[in-house]
């Protein structure tokens, strides 16, 4: 018999002591909900310990099952509503409980608008240190909502996968990459739903293999549908793992036959094992390279990879408010940092002497120049690069802005850009924000030389926890 050697065990890490909190994973608790957090989860407390309960509403008593605990707070799933809120709705979407796209369909729309106003107030107070009540308080206006808050999204990005050997497509379940197969989304424009449903059926019928994210096999990864709401033009983008598509001509002809308003079919090739949707190569299979839409009087060309606001009706509301805060009289020089494809820049150029737009993405600047030409705008100049580098270079050329407009991503403004603004000291700064917490942080920095008097929230994404804001701040002249 072979001799066996027992492995010596080295020093073992000490077992983690259980957290000293009043709840444990798997426990069902009854809790009073006092409010909602920024993601729309109910906030309750058990013996002073904060518990976030997904699906619960303010002023409800609920039973919830604890599924995660940390030192200062925990998370729980709603098990039952003991005493419901007067604002609770029955969600109209049949997959609302499993899809991760919306978080507030169970809350009356007017109450959503009040909640988003309060989220902005809370962030300004807690992170920015600004007064929101009493003398000298910042006015946070009521959230500007939609008369009809459904079917507003002009772009659908639908992951394609395989389930029991069949092609499926829909949105991901919350906090997962498990696809909820669906052919209808109540916040998507109906034309997008119809286009995606048609492509799914056509691809399955032609035996085009769906992408398997785990094995990194298959061909069709995503179907992206875009519509120009004012023009009615539809673009279908097929994101594939390789350029070769079997029965490509049949696929294109079938899509043409079954998608009303179709103006463009585009293929994007993404061979990488990644969560990023688009790859580097884009090919037009049929029709134009772009479709068109309008915000107010400005027309925009939208390509497969263009960033374009997904709620054009509320974008016009947002941009009109930004234009109001700029207070343009036709004599102002305006710099638009984070200008993207020129949406705000061209809107502001209507009433400004000259607008300078800067953006780090070269493709976006190419789109901005194309959009300026499309609209016959001569008083807009666009340049590629980091705003904190390009704007000082413009200063050296004698360009002195009266107004700087910023519309940064969720992470907020780059610190160097904030320092550049404070150095240039334009008379006004207009901040368009998609994240109240980074907005409050950045306004705290700018408050060194600028006075914040009012904030206007705008509901760009009904039935979700997201809120946009636009703020006009004035330099403090001492």
One-character DSSP codes across 332-392? -EEEEET-TTTHHHHHHHTSSSEEEEEES-HHHHHHHHHHHHHTT--SEEEEES-HHHHHH
73 has which bridge partners?
A: 50
Q: Strand locations in 40-114, DSSP E? A: 42-46, 49-54, 61-69, 73-83
Which residue in 249, 350, 361 sits closest to 303, CA to CA? 361
Q: How crowded is the C-beta side of 60, counted as CA atoms within 13 Å?
A: 26
Collapse the DSSP code of 113 into the 3-class scheme (helix H, G, I; strand E, B; otherwise coil) and give the result: helix
Residue 295 dihedral angles phi and psi, to the nearest 5°: -120, 115
Residue 115: φ, ψ to 5° = -60, -45
> Tokens standing for 440?
């409050």
* Cα–Cα nearest to 357, from 329, 336, 379: 336
Neighbour tally for 264: CB within 10 Å:
21
Residue 99 catalytic? no
H or E element at residue 28 = strand 28-36
Burial class, 72, CB count within 10 angstroms (exposed 0-12 / middle 13-18 / buried 19+)? exposed
* Cβ-defined contacts of 316-320 (< 8 Å, 24+): 317/144, 317/458, 318/432, 318/458, 318/460, 318/468, 318/470, 319/295, 319/343, 319/344, 319/347, 320/296
Q: How many CB atoms lie within 10 A of CB 111?
A: 18
Catalytic residue among 185, 294, 434, 469: 434
Helix axis angle for 415-424 and 436-446, nearest 10°, is 40
Which are the catalytic amino acids?
Answer: 434
């Amino acid at each position: 018999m072979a001799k066996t050697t027992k492995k010596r065990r080295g020093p073992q890490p000490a077992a983690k002591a259980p957290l000293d909190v009043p709840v444990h994973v798997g426990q069902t608790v009854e809790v009073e909900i006092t409010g909602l957090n920024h993601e729309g989860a109910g906030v309750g407390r058990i013996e002073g310990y904060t518990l976030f309960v997904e699906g619960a509403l303010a002023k409800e008593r609920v039973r919830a099952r604890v599924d995660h605990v940390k030192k200062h707070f925990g998370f729980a799933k709603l098990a039952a509503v003991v005493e419901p809120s007067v604002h609770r709705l029955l969600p109209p979407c049949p997959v609302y409980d499993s899809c991760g796209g919306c978080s507030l369909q169970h809350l009356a729309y007017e109450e959503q608008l009040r909640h988003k106003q309060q989220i902005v107030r809370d962030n300004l107070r807690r992170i920015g240190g600004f007064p929101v009540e009493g003398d000298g308080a910042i006015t946070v206006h009521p959230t500007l909502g939609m008369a009809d808050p459904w079917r507003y999204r002009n772009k659908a990005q639908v992951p394609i996968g395989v389930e029991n050997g069949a092609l499926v497509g829909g949105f991901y379940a919350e906090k997962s990459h498990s696809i909820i197969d669906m052919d209808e989304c109540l916040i998507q424009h109906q034309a997008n739903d119809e286009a995606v449903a048609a492509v799914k059926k056509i691809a399955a019928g032609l035996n085009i293999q769906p992408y398997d994210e785990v094995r990194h096999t298959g061909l069709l990864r995503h179907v992206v549908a875009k519509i120009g709401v004012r023009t009615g033009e539809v673009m279908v983008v097929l994101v594939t793992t390789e350029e070769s598509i079997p029965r490509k001509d049949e696929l294109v002809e079938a899509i043409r036959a079954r998608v009303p308003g179709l103006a463009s079919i585009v293929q994007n090739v993404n061979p990488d094992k990644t969560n990023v949707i688009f790859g580097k190569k884009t090919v037009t299979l049929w029709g134009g390279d772009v479709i068109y839409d309008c915000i107010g009087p400005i027309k925009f060309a939208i390509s497969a990879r263009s960033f374009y606001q997904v709620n054009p009706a509320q974008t016009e509301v947002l941009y009109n408010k930004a234009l109001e805060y700029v207070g343009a009289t036709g004599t102002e020089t305006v710099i638009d940092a984070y200008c993207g494809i020129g949406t705000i820049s061209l809107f502001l150029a209507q009433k400004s002497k000259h607008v300078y737009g800067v953006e780090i993405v070269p493709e976006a600047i190419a789109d901005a120049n194309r959009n300026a030409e499309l609209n016959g705008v001569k008083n807009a100049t666009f340049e590629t690069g980091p705003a904190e580098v390009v704007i000082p270079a413009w200063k050296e050329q004698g360009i002195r802005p009266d107004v700087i407009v910023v519309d940064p991503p969720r992470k907020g403004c780059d610190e160097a850009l904030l320092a550049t603004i404070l150095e240039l000291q334009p008379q006004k700064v207009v901040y368009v924000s998609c994240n109240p917490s980074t907005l409050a942080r950045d306004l705290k920095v700018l408050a060194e030389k600028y006075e914040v008097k009012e904030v206007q929230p705008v509901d760009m994404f009904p039935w979700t926890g997201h809120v946009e804001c636009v703020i006009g701040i004035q330099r403090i002249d001492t």
